[in-house]
Amino acid sequence: MKAAIRLTLSVVVFASFTISATAQKSAILAGHLIDTATGVATPNQIILVERNPANGTSTILEIGSDVAIPQDAVVIDLSDKWVLGGLVDAHDHLGITYKEEPESWYYYMTIIMDSTPLRAIQSFSTGFQKLASGFTIVRDLGNNALYADTALRQAIEMGWVPGPTMINSGIIIGAFGGQLYETPEREDTVYPEYLNADTNDEIVKAIRRNIHYGAKVIKVCVDCQAYPYTTDQLKLFVSEAANAGQKVSGHVQTREGARRAIEAGLWSIDHDGALDPELHSMMKEKGVWRVGTETPHADWSRVSESRYERRVASLRDAYDQGVKLAFSTDADYFIRGMNRGELTIEFIKTWEDAGIPAPEILKIMTTNGYEISELEDRRGPLKVGFAADIIATTENPLEDINALRDVQFVMKDGQVFKSDGVVSSLSFFHNGPAYGWRKR
């Protein structure tokens, strides 16, 4: 099932050329159109898409079996494919990769030795690879140096480079030290990976700083040090973020930290290690998302068999209790022989081992992902009026979720990024900003 991603190498010449301001239409002939919310596939559908090159937006105009195809529309034949909306990774870090073993050492080497410009380029490369595997939305939750995540998001939105729609957090906010263990001589090493915020005033300032510099979600280290945030402090995170229309994602390591985060009403609990049936029940009651980053047990994952068994049991319990689940990976490391898109899709193994049916996994990777991302024009499966983020596979993912390992077609915002398994990126690049400046 697994197909190698072939990249067409093109020389991109930064010369001026005109981008038509005329709306462009595409008609997709879908052999089987999947509604991921219901798990129903409808045969022989036509999806009429309009793209506005002046601002990079797209809209699905019509869907049906008898849609009239305009004479000027480009016809895309996916009549032998299974067509659905793009996939969502609800937790990753595009601007960091653990290079080689030992993992922890190279994490520190990356944050100390790699500059923000270099990591911005790495972020583009990572996002490119994930888009090629069908991930059209990514929540990028920190570890991006000095706002490399904002730079990439803006570049994608302005049409300079292809990439997934990003919900980025800016710099992770934490109590003194973040996730690091510093020395008194170099206690500033924590910045810019983390913003120290210990008092209420510092918390408010850190949140406002991130939002000012382009964050679209707030990421907090709930309990990364011996002095975790209190429930009241976490409520301040929630209220201050809400003041700017944003939600709070919580990196959680301990059971008490998870309990406080749930009581405070964080939007999502990220990482599964501290969660148990009682906490799942609380999450279900309060509507808190579980973003478990469920790393599979594999030769490359360094997850012990016993740890993995607990992880699978915890995921199954959350599913059985009806907790809101999002597909998430934290796949911020280097595995020889796999790019980041291929690595991301490997995480479906954990969901399979938890006994979750393929249609439910597909719904979690798509519909649930749209809901946690809260993007107004991407808030559900493929429907009229929504943006045209569309992928296609050769086999039916409702029957075998591993069909997602071979995404043959990717359309992002009405523009074809991958066709017949081949990525061709030249059409994405131009000498913008044709779309005009976007607000942070």
Tokens 């993995």 map to which residue? 308
- Per-residue b/e over 9-47, b at no fewer than 16 CB within 10 Å? eeeeeeeeeeeeeebbbbbbbbbbbbbbbeeebeeebbb
Contact 163, 128 (CB under 8 A): yes
**Overall domain count for the chain:** 2
Q: Are residues 184 and 293 in the same domain?
A: yes
Q: Are residues 104 and 130 in the same domain?
A: yes
Q: Are residues 135 and 76 in the same domain?
A: no
Please report whether residue 1 resides in a domain.
Answer: no
Kindly list the distances between the CA atom of residue 354 and the CA atoms of 308, 348, 351, in Å, as whole numbers in the listed order.
Answer: 10, 10, 5
Given pLDDT bands bounded at 50, 70 and 90, which one contains residue 16? Answer: very low
Whole-angstrom distance between the N-terminal and C-terminal Cα of the chain? Answer: 40
- Is 427 or 296 the better-scoring residue by pLDDT? 296
The CA distance from 360 to 380, in Å, is 15
Kindly list the distances between the CA atom of residue 186 and the CA atoms of 112, 175, 180, 181, 189, in Å, as whole numbers in the listed order.
Answer: 11, 17, 11, 10, 6
Q: What is the CATH number of the domain that holds 189?
A: 3.20.20.140
Q: Are residues 150 and 219 in the same domain?
A: yes
Instruction: Give Dmax over CA atoms of the chain in angstroms.
Output: 71
Q: Which candidate, 33, 39, 32, places its Cα nearest to that of 363?
A: 39
Residues 6 or more apart from 187 whose CB is under 8 A from it? none
Q: Are residues 135 and 78 in the same domain?
A: no
The CA distance from 74 to 3, in Å, is 26
Please report whether residue 439 resides in a domain.
Answer: no
Please give the full DSSP string across 369-396, using - where no structure is assigned. Answer: HHHHHT-GGGSSSS-TTS---EEEESS-
199, 201, 202, 205 alpha-carbon torsion, rounded to 10°: 160
Helix (H, G, I), strand (E, B) or coil at 173: strand
pLDDT of amino acid 263: 98
Q: Which domain holds residue 421?
A: 6-86+379-428
The CA distance from 320 to 343, in Å, is 27
The CA distance from 247 to 287, in Å, is 13
pLDDT of amino acid 165: 96
Lowest-confidence segment of 158-162, 198-202, 389-393 by average pLDDT: 158-162
Residues 6 or more apart from 291 whose CB is under 8 A from it? 90, 91, 139, 249, 268, 269, 270, 271, 326, 328, 372
- Mean pLDDT estimate for the chain: 89
For residue 205, pLDDT beyond 80: yes
pLDDT of amino acid 429: 52
Q: Are residues 361 and 262 in the same domain?
A: yes
Please report whether residue 440 resides in a domain.
Answer: no
Q: Are residues 41 and 117 in the same domain?
A: no
Q: Are residues 318 and 413 in the same domain?
A: no
Q: What is the CATH number of the domain that holds 395?
A: 2.30.40.10
Q: Are residues 236 and 298 in the same domain?
A: yes
pLDDT of amino acid 172: 98
Of all helices (H) and strands (E), which one includes residue 306? Answer: helix 305-321
Q: Are residues 254 and 114 in the same domain?
A: yes
Q: Are residues 259 and 332 in the same domain?
A: yes
pLDDT in tens, 316-337: 999 999 999 999 999 988 888 8
For residue 395, pLDDT beyond 80: yes
User: Where does a domain end: 376, 397, 419?
Assistant: 376
Q: What is the chain's length? A: 440
Taking each helix axis from N to C terminus, what angle separates 231-243 and 255-264, rounded to the nearest 10 degrees? 40
Q: Are residues 236 and 119 in the same domain?
A: yes
